Chain A
């Protein structure tokens, strides 16, 4: 009898229909709700917290909760996991909670920061961060990067810097600022200077300049001393230097005999090599993160489009086919996307990304001024670009899906040509 039942069950199982399957892809990414409790102690704590809030907001990683909605009394509940009533933070939607207490010792500000995981009612991170009062903002950037790492196991970019071109009464000058646009430092002071690029180590910038009066050529400037020296002076002009990820060579565009091509040079000097040899214009090189390919712009097919090639100039592949003016490629640190600016049918430049494998183009900006020159943050989670959406050209950041645009410069005459610097210590 038992055997009969087993056989019947087996037959029944075999008779079951196949379970249907569907695949769902394209997850939307939602910012993580975080509460920044008003800090206790010295008033400098509030300044630090403001910088931290702006960092988190710009990153797109976190959604800041409105302090007016907080149910807990931060002063009374203390700052340890055993005294905090996490249900009050859960009730306002917080998934993470930051507490801070500041004190001043002489000219030094010290902030005791704590990060809590609200659903698990546990402390995730704790540390005392100190800095001279003049460098107060760095406390927030350092703690912010630690928070990002605690969640994502990836380095944060709040301590990185951005090089750009600043419009001044003496022409376009190379400048560098913190990743939030604060603490700008102008590095050049005369002539027209364009297209800054970070050199390996992050202590110098290469840039294009008309300073010798005979067309643009490549120079480099030391960030600490502001000393300028020539880098490439060949041809009618040489411009747009970009350094390989391994830091041993750089690509640039140069014009010789009325033909503009991409060239490759060892960083220590030596023989340069021409990588492209088309009759059209080949410019705006950008390295793939593995250093094996270079993206560039060419009009060899009649209109400027994005192409890639191996670093010996072989295996040229056209990447963009839509639009008739695509320029300024920037290969993402993850390697999957190339950001670029393209002119649409309204003859306005906007930002796009193209998937290197599939060729699918996504649009990041639309109907908000002119948007140009994208540059990726070293963690690939943010881009900086220039936009006229608020009036004069200024630097903005945006997420790779086109959301969360934030203005980071407010230069009186404008800012453009941003190049996001490397991670601290790289």
Chain B
């Protein structure tokens, strides 16, 4: 004879229990409310913290230090900004074996000599007393005048521009009609965390040079009000001739 044992029935909580029929819809409501709270916590800060609409920045250059040039005169040659002061390069140590046939230089020695030569040339360069600029300009400025622009983006433009170099062997046509777009994503410390070439130029020499320009560029940290924007949305850079 078998004894009747109480039967355990496992039910899904979502299925509801016939003994407490109100629990099923209640659970669903609770889950929906939780989802809403999580979604609000995720999206509301974005909605409320949305940066002010930015106007398209005007390209601005650092203004060179100098006196404004009379607009009636022919221009002076645009000069590179003076190099930062650096310690004089140490001359290569004289060889003890002064006599005898000339020794073949190692690559390291040749490189050191070349660097020392470049440093000497930089030191020998006389500042151009007629360099045009503004009396309130910067010694490292690259242009005689500038338009008003968004300061941070102007700085970004200047820094990338310093590395914006294309190879001479591309055709004139390609150089004249050069057009490419790269989006860069800037971290809070100014590092370029990612770059995406959204519109290649069509010439591998140029694309390679643009990627190199981005990789070589060191940017300042963005201001707090732009940090999230340039990190999450990125900054679109249109390269033109």
Contacts and interface: CB of A to CB of B under 8 A. Distances in A.
A62 interface: yes
Contacts of A270: none
Interface stretch (B84-92, B117-125, B233-241): B233-241
Nearest to B240: A25
A1 B39 CA distance: 12
A168 interface: no
B160 A32 contact: no
Interface stretch (A76-84, A147-155, A175-183, A207-215): A147-155
Which of B76, B164, B170 has the largest count of A CB atoms less than 10 A from its CB?
B170
Q: How large is the interface on B (under 10, 10 to 19, 20 to 34, 35 or more residues)?
A: 35 or more
A313 B82 CA distance: 47
B161 A345 contact: no
Contacts of B53: 17-18
B110 A11 contact: no
A19 interface: yes
A306 B76 CA distance: 19
B73 A345 contact: yes
Interface stretch (B4-12, B16-24, B93-101, B175-183): B175-183
B1 interface: no
Chain B at the A interface: mostly helix, strand, loop or mixed?
mixed
Nearest to A151: B169
B166 A154 contact: no
Contacts of A25: 59, 239-241
Contact of A22 (B50, B71, B229, B238): B238
A22 B169 CA distance: 26
Contacts of B234: 19
B112 interface: no
Secondary structure of the A contact surface, majority rule:
loop
A296 B160 CA distance: 40
A17 B73 contact: no
A47 to B, nearest CB: 25
Given A19-B233, A381-B172, A342 B238 contact: no
Contacts of B73: 322-323, 344-345
Contacts of A153: 171
A364 B57 CA distance: 31
Kindly name the residue among A21, A362, A363, A364 whose own CB sees the greatest number of chain B CB atoms within 10 A.
A21
A28 B46 contact: no
B175 A29 contact: yes
B230 interface: yes
Given A22-B156, A28-B165, A362 B183 contact: no
A16 B45 CA distance: 11
A27 B212 CA distance: 13
A60 B168 CA distance: 8
Contacts of B103: none
Nearest to A68: B110
B74 A352 contact: yes
Interface of B: 35, 39, 42-43, 46-47, 50-51, 53-54, 56-57, 59, 71-78, 105, 107, 110, 153, 156-157, 160-161, 164-172, 175-176, 178, 183, 226, 229-230, 232-241
12 contacts: A17-B229, A19-B233, A20-B229, A21-B56, A22-B157, A23-B238, A26-B164, A27-B241, A28-B166, A29-B168, A154-B172, A322-B71
Given A16-B232, A19-B229, 9 more contacts: A17-B233, A19-B183, A22-B156, A22-B238, A24-B238, A32-B169, A61-B168, A68-B105, A322-B73
